[in-house]
Structure 1
């Protein structure tokens, strides 16, 4: 629904943003904050794809903490509830639904490879070892044409991932086009102010609680992943692009919040905005720890062990 913006300090809001985004932007900082928010969404929409492909390729999701994935899903679900009860735009609602769906896919993939497939393979291995035949050969009636290579599976998975991304992008474009068309028709002299809505007490409580639960789940969710990597010393099945892109997304979202202005004397700041800062800005150091762990266990530790092994014969020769 179209809306109007009040004049602040003799300055009118930028018309194009008022008309098509339902937001009142008065200067470049407001526009920059909005653009940074869109960049944040863009990075988040692509962040999970590298991990999905990595898990599919390696069939080893052990590098991910199941607690981390569940808490991430919980954060996105409560974020979706907040969008619903605070009457956010269709674009925000759609992206929130997308985040929940992609989390469910990641969890399903984790359960499939770690629980279902692993149990199935162990059962087949046991049957082979228990049989009288020492060498398992494929049946003669299976031709080479029926065998699917891993490269073909990876290509098919890449095509599916690209198709999924195109579908999401086209859906967002359709939503933008719908809002553009509806806004162009919904112009009248009797319009409400942008952002003006009478929320019921229940809606405000649910919205604020959802924001805080979501922010805390995002913040504390990294801790199980950090502990998991420290205990297992294994990052082979982890795509570091997941955390790099998540960190970049949180940086842009934090900048968006800070640029939009923070008033510590405003009571509404503590109702929801502080929760968003906790769920984005304070998560950045946690993600950097995961990134540091990845490079340590993937490269630095192996390099140090290899270097130590190379020096050992020299030291032995000197002792002799």
Structure 2
């Protein structure tokens, strides 16, 4: 008989995946609408990408939950998409990096004229609450449905024992990715001081927070065994700390 903890862990894992499927879309669209990726710090995205690659490799070596491995693959793909957008729009607008006409004010210049900046913020608090609540309910429903369709077979699959050599490799990669994820927020925070979050989608960090919370819950709901928690410690610590940083980064 499948334990309730396994089912709960799988549900949280699939909800986390749903959050991360949604999370990048608002920022990708924001970049498209503004025809600019300058709201994001290049260093933030680059460090995030390296962290995701370390996370992916460590998760595979450690034989972690399939949902965590799927997430790591998706993160890496989306990081690459954001990075491509930044450099594509720089090339398109003749950024000095490509030895063409420089953009006035550089990376810290406002992305929109003052009048358009105000128009860009016209959404009322009520509308934002309704939008985010609806989106959150959507990802919860999608995640639960995904678990119902595919999760039961996943729960029946036993987790293999990890050779001691691979265990240490996974821990080094896991903690490296956690440090990179946390450190990646620093350049974005510094950039926000000058740009005041212009061109940055709040939804990116809203769903990042939701994704990290549910990802952590999917791990701790699986088992309270100390060996299991120790193996997953870097993923738990990294996700938990990033939640607080992302709330700060989003302004």
TM-score by length of 2: 0.69
Q: Does 1:289 align with 2:248?
A: yes
C-alpha spacing 1:273/1:116, structure 2 compared with 1 (3 Å): same
Question: What is the match of residue 202 of structure 1?
Answer: 165
Question: What is the match of residue 133 of structure 2?
Answer: none
Q: Counterparts of 1:101 and 1:38 in 2: how far apart (Å)?
A: 18
Q: What is the CA deviation profile of residues 123-153 of structure 1, one whole-angstrom value per residue up to 9, with x for unaligned ones?
A: 479xxxxxxxxxxxxxxxxxxxxxxxxxxxx
Question: What is the match of residue 22 of structure 2?
Answer: 46
Q: Counterparts of 1:194 and 1:226 in 2: how far apart (Å)?
A: 42
Question: What is the match of residue 118 of structure 2?
Answer: none
Report the 3-state secondary structure (helix = DSSP H, G, I; strand = E; otherwise coil) of the residue aligned with 1:260: coil
Pairing partner for 1:81 from 57, 71, 76: 57
Q: Counterparts of 1:243 and 1:233 in 2: how far apart (Å)?
A: 17
Q: CA deviation at 1:201?
A: 3.6
Q: Counterparts of 1:261 and 1:90 in 2: how far apart (Å)?
A: 16
Q: What is the CA deviation profile of residues 150-192 of structure 1, one whole-angstrom value per residue up to 9, with x for unaligned ones?
A: xxxxxxxxxxxxxxxxxxx9xxx9xx87x96xx9xxx9xxxxx
Q: CA deviation at 1:260?
A: 3.5
Please, which runs of 5 or more residues in structure 1 have no aligned partner? 1-12, 15-25, 126-168, 188-192, 294-320
Q: What is the CA deviation profile of residues 232-260 of structure 1, one whole-angstrom value per residue up to 9, with x for unaligned ones?
A: 13322111110011111112222333433
Query: RMSD in angstroms over aligned alpha carbons?
Result: 3.2
Q: Does 1:228 align with 2:191?
A: yes
Question: What is the match of residue 207 of structure 2?
Answer: 245
C-alpha spacing 1:42/1:86, structure 2 compared with 1 (3 Å): same
Give the 5 Å matches for 1:15-54.
26-27=3-4, 29-54=5-30
Pairing partner for 1:269 from 229, 236, 243: 229
**In the comparison of the two structures, how many residue pairs are matched?**
204
Structure 1 runs of 4+ aligned residues shifted over 6 Å read none
Q: Counterparts of 2:216 and 2:66 in 1: how far apart (Å)?
A: 22
Give the 5 Å matches for 1:1-320.
13-14=1-2, 26-27=3-4, 29-87=5-63, 92-115=68-91, 117-119=93-95, 123=100, 194-197=158-161, 199-230=162-193, 232-262=194-224, 266=226, 269-270=229-230, 272-291=231-250, 293=251
C-alpha spacing 1:259/1:89, structure 2 compared with 1 (3 Å): closer
TM-score by length of 1: 0.55
Q: Counterparts of 1:124 and 1:290 in 2: how far apart (Å)?
A: 31
Q: Counterparts of 1:267 and 1:92 in 2: how far apart (Å)?
A: 18
Q: Counterparts of 2:192 and 2:227 in 1: how far apart (Å)?
A: 39
Q: Counterparts of 1:95 and 1:258 in 2: how far apart (Å)?
A: 17
C-alpha spacing 1:94/1:31, structure 2 compared with 1 (3 Å): closer
Q: CA deviation at 1:277?
A: 1.6
* 8 Å contact kept, 2:216–2:239: yes
Q: What is the CA deviation profile of residues 251-289 of structure 1, one whole-angstrom value per residue up to 9, with x for unaligned ones?
A: 2222333433545xx35534x322112211111111111
C-alpha spacing 1:91/1:205, structure 2 compared with 1 (3 Å): same
C-alpha spacing 1:96/1:30, structure 2 compared with 1 (3 Å): same
